[in-house]
């Protein structure tokens, strides 16, 4: 969005590398103070809202046992190149992606993938469009686009470390307003009106991506990337900020009764030396592993309480559920091929008496 300014900062950029950044930290790019006017076409693009820039969508909703539901939408976001360029084919905005959107039922997996990112027609810095490198703009775009799309999965990307890093963040941290690194346009830090400022400074929201699987899968591409997992991103710029938003949204919509269930979210830092071609390959490989996790988790959720494995959760499962609770070996003998994990109705990793009330609640669903 460009409601607060319709210009970009200078064409030249200076990468601040007086001290080499620690792995996992944001790399801020500084620009001269003088403004450079955008070409008329970019003025028109910048003046529209994120929802106006969004092309047509078809949101499909799938009910789940227990009263919740989920869409088939996965949201990707990027910032500076190469993260915007490597996601371009997933944009359904014809201005940004004239080659055509490839996200519809991507690779036949059943998920529609949408990407959002800024453009940098005047060089790096703040950018223009969706998710500009700006705290107020990123917050406004996130809370207008993401709740409207109700994604079941989120992957946020940003450009960070020098080199060919593919840094899979284990979590993201929020801070007091003064602790965030200033952005490019006043107010240069998060302001009290932004939703994230209701969070306690120092709070960490953790990734729910299949991080080890992403690491192994990207390494196996043989692209020469330095692929690793960071426990928590301690950066104080927009990379950590957008990553926190994705993880936080997922937590807000993690209840199995939520009509907009979001199963996994996480952030990946991309090194400055990663080419667009390699970024595309690694991003798509990462996305495949995220979709695998979505498939796995949704299968578990749908199978909850179906202890006789007939494809439905109903009164015919009561005897099998009781047997699973009191005698796991007897259950395995009586229902060979049925996973006793179906009795873990509250999905806490254990089959115990805490599953009884959730099982009864499933049976009471119409």
pLDDT of 11 above 70:
no
Could you confirm whether domain 50-301 is CATH 3.40.630.20? yes
Burial state string for 333-345 with b = 16 or more CB within 10 A and e = fewer than 16: eebeebebebbbb
Could you read off the pLDDT of 75-119 as tens digits, one per residue? 999 999 999 999 999 999 998 999 999 999 999 999 999 999 999
Q: Tell me, what's the pLDDT at 201?
A: 98
- C-alpha separations of 10 from 29, 37, 134, 184 in Å: 12, 9, 16, 11
In the chain, helix, strand, coil percent, each to 5?
35, 15, 45
Where are the domains positioned within the chain? 50-301, 305-364
pLDDT of 275 above 90:
yes
Average pLDDT over residues 263-280: 98
Identify whether the C-beta of residue 307 lies closer than 8 Å to the C-beta of residue 334.
no
Could you read off the pLDDT of 294-307 as tens digits, one per residue? 999 999 999 999 99
Query: Which of the two residues, 140 and 46, has the higher pLDDT score?
Result: 140
pLDDT band at 35 (very low <50, low <70, confident <90, very high): very low
- Residues above pLDDT 90, as percent of the chain: 76
How far apart are alpha carbons 239 and 29 in whole angstroms? 12
Alpha helices (runs of H) in the chain, residue ranges in sequence order: 40-47, 50-53, 83-86, 135-149, 211-219, 238-252, 276-303, 318-326, 328-334, 356-364
Quickly list DSSP for 148-160: HH--SEEEEEEE-
Predicted model pTM:
0.85
């Amino acid at each position: 969005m460009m409601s607060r300014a319709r210009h970009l900062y200078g064409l030249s950029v200076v990468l601040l590398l007086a001290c080499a950044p620690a792995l996992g930290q944001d790399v801020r790019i500084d620009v001269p103070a003088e403004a450079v006017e955008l070409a008329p076409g970019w003025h028109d693009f910048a003046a529209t809202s994120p929802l106006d820039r969004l092309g047509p969508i078809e949101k499909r909703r799938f009910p789940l046992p227990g009263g919740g539901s989920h869409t088939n939408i996965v949201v990707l976001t990027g910032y500076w190149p190469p993260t915007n360029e490597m996601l371009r084919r997933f944009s359904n905005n014809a201005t940004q992606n004239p080659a055509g959107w490839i996200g519809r039922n991507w690779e036949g997996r059943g998920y529609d993938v949408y990407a959002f990112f800024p453009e940098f027609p005047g060089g790096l810095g703040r950018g223009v469009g969706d998710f500009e490198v700006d705290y107020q703009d990123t917050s406004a775009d996130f809370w207008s686009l993401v709740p409207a799309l109700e994604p079941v999965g989120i992957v946020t990307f940003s450009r960070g470390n020098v080199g060919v890093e593919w840094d899979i963040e284990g979590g993201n941290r929020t801070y007091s307003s003064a602790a965030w690194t200033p952005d490019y346009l006043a107010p240069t830090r998060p302001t009290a009106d932004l939703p994230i400022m209701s969070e306690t400074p120092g709070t960490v929201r953790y990734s729910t991506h299949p991080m080890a699987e992403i690491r192994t899968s990207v390494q196996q591409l043989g692209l020469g990337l330095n692929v690793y997992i960071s426990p928590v991103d301690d950066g104080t710029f927009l990379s950590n900020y957008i990553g926190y938003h994705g993880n936080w949204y997922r937590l807000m919509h993690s209840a199995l009764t939520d009509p907009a269930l979001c199963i996994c979210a996480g952030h990946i830092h991309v090194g400055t030396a990663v080419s667009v071609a390699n970024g595309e390959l690694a991003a798509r490989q990462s996305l495949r592993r995220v979709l695998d996790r979505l498939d796995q988790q949704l299968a578990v959720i749908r199978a909850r309480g179906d202890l006789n494995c007939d494809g439905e959760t109903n009164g015919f499962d009561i005897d099998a559920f009781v047997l699973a609770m009191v005698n796991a070996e007897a259950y395995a003998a009586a229902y060979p091929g049925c996973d006793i994990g179906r009795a873990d109705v509250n999905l806490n990793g254990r089959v115990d008496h805490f599953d009884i009330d959730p099982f009864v609640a499933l049976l009471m669903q119409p």
